[in-house]
A and B are shown apart, each in its own frame.
Chain A
Amino acid sequence: MRYALHAEYTKLRTLPSTGWLLLAVVALTVGVGAAAAATVSCHATGCGYDAPKLALSGVLAGQAVVALLAITAVTGEHSTGTAAVTLAAVPRRGRVLVAKAIVLAGLTGAAGTVGVLCSVLVARLLLPGNGFTAANGYPPLSLADGATLRAAAGSVLYLILIALFGLGVGTAARDAAASVGVTGGVVYVLQIAPFLVTDPDWQQALWRLSPTNAGLTIQATRNLSAYPLGPWAGLGVLAAWTTVALAIGAVLSHRRDL
């Protein structure tokens, strides 16, 4: 397993695209978060905004790049034929998948942590200028605050789970375009699905089903009772999606030739 891990790490590290994609994860997460923090303003007490959630809103954009990184890490091997080289070197397919998962989780976790920390820092600097002041009920953003810390750490976990979801889909589909389609559909189309129906029960059900809506409750720090799911239960929905995708990928890679 150690050898397989080392190989997968070297493999990803020596692809020029990996560095750029990780940089893009940080840039998008921080950039979108900063844009949100710079444009939203609070003029009175109880303006209702969830400041940590606002600061971390870039995660919604960053996750696209995270998924892309994970998908290309596996589908790129199939399009170039190096998948055969990988399996000749490490014939146990489960081991290859686990090694890829650990390496992707590590890289995503690192980039995600940088992105999330910078987002919080930038928002901490920008928000007071837009009325998010202690007088209006918004003390400066701080990771010393339990809910904020949970939102920040949970956002990193969220990004890791998205990466692993992309890995599972990519392993199952083997094709980049198909994987991007499936992942994009699950992540973004299911996200807006609740707003396309009028029946409140269906809205709730679809909302709970969406890994994005449910998963991002981990960022909620205010008004938690308004959400259909608690923060950790919400992240659990994404974890379930990820588990299913990885399981399908694992089973298919065992069953199929190559």
Chain B
Amino acid sequence: MDNATIEVSGLRKRFGPTVALDGMSFTVQPGRVTGFVGPNGAGKSTTMRVVLGLDTADAGTALVGGRPYRQLRTPLRQVGALLDANAVQPSRSARNHLLWLAHSQGIGRARVDTVLGQVGLAAVARRRAGGFSLGMRQRLGIAAALLGDPPILLLDEPVNGLDPEGVIWIRGLLRSLAAEGRAVLVSSHLMSELQDTADQLVVVGRGRVIADANVTELLAAAARGRVVVRTRAPETARTELLRAGATATVTGPDTLDVAGPSAERVVALLTAGRVPVAEVSAYQASLEEAYLTLTRDAVEFQAGQVAR
């Protein structure tokens, strides 16, 4: 596959009276992790199912590597997907679940054992998948997605059910997959899950894209150049900074947020005013803040949340 991209363009789909997709359009680029976020029911899973050719859209196109998924001859070698971790036959062993998938793509047994090791399931490979915890099933689902060593990955809520160690593991895995040049689309309804993982965010609500933005730029925008000051005398510091025309808000017993002057200027001002300063640092916005900044104006989106 020459171009490892997912291109979703103008997807529309109704389930009876419910509009599931309402002109969903975005592109997933190779070499980065794209977070696909929005409340439950925003159309994330439906979009993924349409991309994989499981559901048919009423209008619009979804291309993987420039081609419709249904035209791919050995699709798992091009697109690895995890839609539903519980989609395993309970009486079949983890290894056999991957084995039939491997056979469907002309992949050998050795690759099955490789991915089982990669996701940390080698020790339980011969156990029935029905006895697996949700976290183990997520790992099995991720193993299935990795089976064909695909340049494109599509993972629906992969963090769900993982223990803290698993969460750290999957973050590292997603980062390394993107670093290898793969296109990685990861959906989540929790922004915090994508913190430190996603490079790009596609925020959806009510079946369409509300925002599609670079995470670094997004965080910078949400931080709005603010500076965090740690001091024993926050009130004195605040008075000093307000006098210099800055906006300052005391946020804790020994911290205040400053907007306006640069970090150097803040240090200079406080030193001149003889205010003891423990630390001055750039404000780190959380992804949640960035998300709220993005969606603040999307009234329709908020109505969508309420409607759920």
Binding site for B on A (CB under 8 A): 2-4, 6-11, 14-17, 76-77, 80-82, 84-92, 257-258
Contact = CB atoms under 8 A, between A and B. Distances in A.
A14 B93 contact: yes
Interface stretch (B70-78, B187-195, B236-244, B276-284): B70-78
Interface stretch (B82-90, B117-125, B218-226): B82-90
A80 B87 contact: yes
A32 B91 CA distance: 30
Contact of A80 (B55, B56, B89, B144): B89
Contacts of B53: 87-88, 91
Contacts of A14: 92-93, 96, 99-100
Contacts of B75: 88-89, 91
A176 B92 CA distance: 19
B84 A84 contact: yes
Interface stretch (B28-36, B103-111, B157-165, B289-297): B103-111
Contact of A87 (B54, B92, B93, B105): B54
Contacts of A82: 87-89
Given A14-B96, A14-B99, A80 B90 contact: yes
Interface of B: 49, 52-56, 69-70, 72, 74-76, 81, 83-84, 86-93, 96, 99-101, 103-106, 144
A80 B86 CA distance: 8
A194 to B, nearest CB: 40
B89 A84 contact: no
Given A7-B101, A14-B96, A14-B99, A88 B89 contact: no
B89 A76 contact: yes
A202 to B, nearest CB: 42
Given A3-B104, A10-B103, A14-B92, 13 more contacts: A15-B91, A80-B86, A80-B89, A84-B83, A84-B84, A86-B104, A87-B53, A88-B76, A88-B81, A89-B101, A90-B104, A91-B53, A257-B55
7 contacts: A14-B92, A81-B86, A84-B49, A85-B101, A89-B105, A91-B70, A257-B56
A2 B74 CA distance: 12
A3 B106 contact: yes
Contacts of A86: 104
A132 to B, nearest CB: 44
A89 B55 CA distance: 14
Contacts of A17: 91
Contact of B104 (A7, A77, A80): A7
Contacts of B103: 3, 6-7, 9-10
B106 A92 contact: no
Contacts of A7: 100-101, 103-104
Given A3-B104, A81-B84, A92 B92 contact: no
B15 to A, nearest CB: 9
- By Cβ-Cβ distance, the 8 closest A-B pairs, closest first, are A7-B104, A81-B87, A14-B96, A10-B100, A257-B55, A89-B104, A6-B103, A91-B70
